[in-house]
Structure 1
């Protein structure tokens, strides 16, 4: 792939919304082939025909606006508990590049603020699930419209994720329902981001970054975002490329679990966010990433047919163990204790 030919394809996944699969539908088979090609070449796709209508995305945008417009001291009342992945994260409290063990001059310097919600253990009756992976949510009462709007979008993203898993199963040539027992109590998280300088901070320092270079931790990510520059994707040649969602499209990228499962036949794509500066001010950008991570106890090891003669796959690791390793860097600055292929890719990249 050359810089002049980098392209994030747009794929209409509508045929899969009918409940069919590649075995019974030529249209689904064509979509699966497109996904396989995109996941091998780019690792990012734009999807249309996804079934999430504008009432859900408009409501999500309104929810973000309602909460992030609150005074900082009010938002901090809902600050994330260090032991969970729920609630508010102020600007400069995280460093996503440290999830790969990549140090910056000022480690906790990602200037976005975020609010995170997810599936809770109480939603899975009869299962004894760990709070560390399925924490209860901390909904902000100061923004009364936030919870109902976010819940509606969250439900749509949950359904879309499972549709995508059917398509991915076909694209990888696996038996129908292959992943079902690995995602039937999936960790699912929606992280809503607001990129703007914090109150009272009008200086743009040289090491300030929106969201540092990283890969996502789970199976797949569904991203809604403003059509504002900022998102950049790293290609296989170590070059960064700007990516913006097309009208009505959602961006989908792979996470580390899928990369490990396929021994990098499908790679978790390295990406970062650096919103543009206009007249000395950062242009506001909003996004919401729905992380579909898989069951906490699902083992990530090579899928059938992904290793050829003499190849060595990733060592087995559970979904929860992989996430915990990456989150330790993100939240505390503790670098992962094992060498990561993703880290080497960022180290070899240009600016």
Structure 2
């Protein structure tokens, strides 16, 4: 039976957490990542006021008229506003939809800036400056508070994952000390009557995330679906107070699919010709732009050779080109085959 396990990570936040408690959490993470690839995380330490601030910020921005929101669009960049039906997540794996740019969500993305890491010479293409909507004055402070909080959660999770994989403490530190982090805030809705006019629509096409892991806040509204190892889609909704965590392509490549990146999609329900509104905020912990993703010790064999090495930036750039411009990546075969088998 498909179940997304709930894991309390508080022993990793507690400075007095015992080694035995942390070892238990690490075992639970390894089991979840080796099977389901999705986790409900509780004991994450994010205050309710920060979560409430995020939802208020989303409501403030997405209530603006479409023309006002489009002022913050940055074509070709992974920053700012993305209007409905301007992206196709399935094309990040080279799996074309009937209408490639048919994902009906709208989104706003912010992320790590080059100025945050003055000690490094970093490319603007990976660490672009953020755009903040002055038409929604409460948006920036609330989103920055959420970004900081969930960024901390992602680092705690990486520490637990390091233990779960049996790696030395701090193994990933030099691969993540100037990580490309991105927060994509999604809104799934369309004006009344547009469904009949638009034909077949996809909320968010089947895809894997690009980086190490993703920490997701989402409304408790149906729509998120996860693909299991047998090629069957399952509905997933967050439990009260939980954050959803799934694995990205960098972790799958590092572990040679001991922990596979999680194939998922969003298909919100339609009631009386209208889509029930759904909001989510996905924090992508992606790693340093120049970090090389290559198979971890002990994860490759003659029967199952590892993935070819690739940098974090090369992986992200190729998949963003698929998502935003329909250019299929050349090295996403394993993930793409899993998606195609479920179509």
TM, length-normalised to structure 2: 0.97
Asked if the contact 1:20/1:28 (under 8 Å) is kept, the reply is no
Determine which of 297, 301, 304 is the counterpart of 2:294: 301
Q: Which structure 2 residues correspond to residues 1-351 of structure 1 after superposition, within 5 A?
A: 5-19=1-15, 25-82=19-76, 84-198=77-191, 201-203=194-196, 205-350=198-343
* Contact 1:117–1:138, Cα closer than 8 Å, also in 2: yes
Aligned length in residues: 343
The 3-state SS of whatever aligns with 1:70 is coil
The farther-off stretch of 138-147 and 98-107 is: 98-107
For the aligned residues, what is the CA RMSD?
1.4
Deviation at 1:18, TM superposition (A): 1.9
- The more displaced of 195-204 and 60-69 is 195-204
Measured after TM superposition, the shift of residue 308 of structure 1 is: 3.3
Rounded to whole Å, the distance in 2 between the matches of 1:339 and 1:28 is 34
Distance (Å, rounded) in 1 between the aligned partners of 2:243 and 2:68: 31
Contact 2:107 2:187 (8 Å CA) reproduced: yes
What secondary structure is seen at the aligned counterpart in 2 of 1:191?
strand
What is the deviation of 1:93? 0.2
Q: Once superposed, which parts of structure 1, at least 4 consecutive aligned residues long, lie more than 3 Å away?
A: none
Deviation string, structure 1 residues 132-171 (Cα, Å, up to 9, x no partner): 1100000000000000000000000111111001000000
* CA 328–29 in structure 1, closer or farther in 2 if over 3 Å, else same: same
Contact 1:95–1:330 at 8 Å: present in 2 too? yes
Unmatched 5+ stretches in structure 2: none
Bigger mean CA offset, 302-311 vs 45-54: 302-311
Separation in structure 2 between the aligned mates of residue 287 and residue 242 of structure 1, nearest angstrom: 15
Alignment partners' CA distance in 2, 1:8 and 1:252: 10
The Cα shift of 1:127 comes to: 1.0
Quick one: distance in 1 between partners of 2:155 and 2:331? 31
CA distance, structure 1, for counterparts of residue 134 and residue 327 of structure 2 = 33
User: Under a length normalisation based on structure 1, what TM-score does the superposition of the two structures give?
Assistant: 0.95
**Could you tell me whether the CA contact under 8 Å between 2:193 and 2:274 is conserved in 1?**
no
- Could you tell me whether the CA contact under 8 Å between 1:59 and 1:149 is conserved in 2? yes
Contact 1:204 1:280 (8 Å CA) reproduced: no
Distance in 2, Cα, partners of 1:269 & 1:71: 34
